[in-house]
Amino acid sequence: MKIARVWATPLNLPVTVQAARGSKTTSLSVCLVSIETDTGLVGTGMTAITEEEVIGSIVNDIAAHHLVGLDPLRHEQIWERLYWLLTPRGQSGYASHAIAAIDLALWDIKGQALGEPCWRLLGGARDEVPVYATFGFAFFDRDELAAAAKAWVSRGFTRLKMTVGHHALARRDEPRPLDVVIAEDVQRIRAVREAVGPDVQIYIDANCSLDYFHALKLAKQVEPFDISFFEEPVTHNDIPNLQKLRAKTSIPLAAGQNEGLATRFRDLLVAQAVDVVQPNACISGGFTQCGRIAGMAAAFNTRFANGGAWPHHNMHLHAGLANGSLVEYHSVAVQCCELVFDDLPKPERGVLRLPEAPGLGFRPNPERLAELARRPGSRGAGKA
């Protein structure tokens, strides 16, 4: 079996979130990567949280020409070639996203070719995974946030994540003092805790939007609300600052969803800078590299979980590997996936059951994909 064609489809997807005082419309960018074999199998990978057009160009204009003719089952060979092609001096960034999407497409092909779901090929440690629901976004006011939290709990979710920081450092020229942002965050977290009671786990995620001083101040102020982890508290995932913060707060720290190379995770682990490492299969080099990172986490006895959303891809990793754990059921990202893919599993009472269908177990819907690729902001690229 050989790779016959590779093409990327950059998409800008519309999503609507219902809030107590009306709906909020936003959009998310993703880039699909499809690989077709000379036997007629088509695997589809995906990346996100990046510029989708750049990934489309990396795949269509550069990587595709190096992949045609290779054996799609040899994922180590192909990962290594892509590394030397796209990131030969240890660069990370866009290239890691592109490699991740290609790697996931190869694993989808491998599953189809062998008649097995990816999670079983990755090790089959369990056939269901616990999820946490990411529900709490900046566009909710305090009351809407509390109401949304209650609504998710009523749907059977006992683990909830909300954003904090809200791009504070990126917006500091407005001016928007960071202490004002985190003072409001404290009240938002209080409102959610009061709404859901003591038995629901609450996670917070600053998306690298704070400096050390304000991350520490926020952590100390919300410790009484029993926070299960504080994700990406400081800008750059700056390791010395994470290390200092971890020493000063009782809240577990988590990071890693947008890190590209395994060496960054090694450094986080050696520094004992986090309690939870969170490589994302759609960003951190696909299942191939995430498996290596999970192995390092196991050797350091450090938790390994999913951050950065895209639960339907990441569930395979966390079901497959022995130290797999929580998968992020990010409500906006899930809406995006539901626009694109058919046969996505839905969690029941906070648990996702893995599909038995070969490969990833879900496929893009060709008609809807063609429609979405024609949207403004989406440029569905041709087949390379």
User: Cβ distance 282 to 100 under 8 Å?
Assistant: yes
- Beta pairing class for 159-163 and 128-136: parallel
Shortest distance (Å) from residue 64 CB to Mg ion: 30
Is 256 a binder of Mg ion (CB under 5 A)? no
Which residue in 183, 168, 189, 192 sits closest to 217, CA to CA? Answer: 183
Smallest distance from Mg ion to CB 158, Å: 19
Partners of 32 in the β-ladder: 9, 46
Q: Which is nearer to Mg ion, 205 or 211 (CB)?
A: 205
> Can you read off the two tokens belonging to residue 255?
């990071």
Choices 79-87, 200-208, 290-298, 368-376; region in contact with Mg ion by CB under 5 A: 200-208
Kindly indicate which of the ranges 213-221, 265-273, 300-308, 350-358 contains the residues binding Mg ion, using the contact rule CB under 5 A. 300-308
Alpha-carbon gap, residue 282 to 304, rounded angstroms: 15
Piece of the chain touching Mg ion by CB under 5 A; list 102-110, 140-148, 183-191, 225-233: 225-233
Under the binding rule (CB under 5 A), the answer on residue 185 touching Mg ion is: no
Contact yes or no for 288/79 (Cβ under 8 A): yes
The partner residues of 10 in beta bridges, in order of sequence, read: 31
CA–CA gap between residue 85 and residue 79 (Å, rounded): 10
* Residue number, 59 or 222, with CB nearest to Mg ion: 222
307 binds Mg ion (CB under 5 A): yes
Closest CA to 113 of 165, 24, 42, 217: 42
Under the binding rule (CB under 5 A), the answer on residue 205 touching Mg ion is yes
Number of residues that bind Mg ion (CB under 5 A): 3
Is 359 in contact with 353 (CB distance < 8 Å)?
no
Question: Taking the CB of residue 284, how many other CB atoms lie within 10 A of it?
Answer: 29
Of 205 and 259, CB closest to Mg ion: 205
Q: How far is the CB of 109 from Mg ion (least distance, A)?
A: 29
By C-beta, is 211 or 231 nearer to Mg ion? 231
Nearer to Mg ion, 211 or 328 (CB): 328
- Comparing CB distances to Mg ion, the nearer of 291 and 307 is 307
Given a contact cutoff of 8 angstroms between Cβ atoms, the answer to whether 153 and 132 are in contact is: no
Which span sits near Mg ion by CB under 5 A: 35-43, 112-120, 170-178, 229-237? 229-237
Binding site residues, Mg ion, CB under 5 A: 205, 231, 307
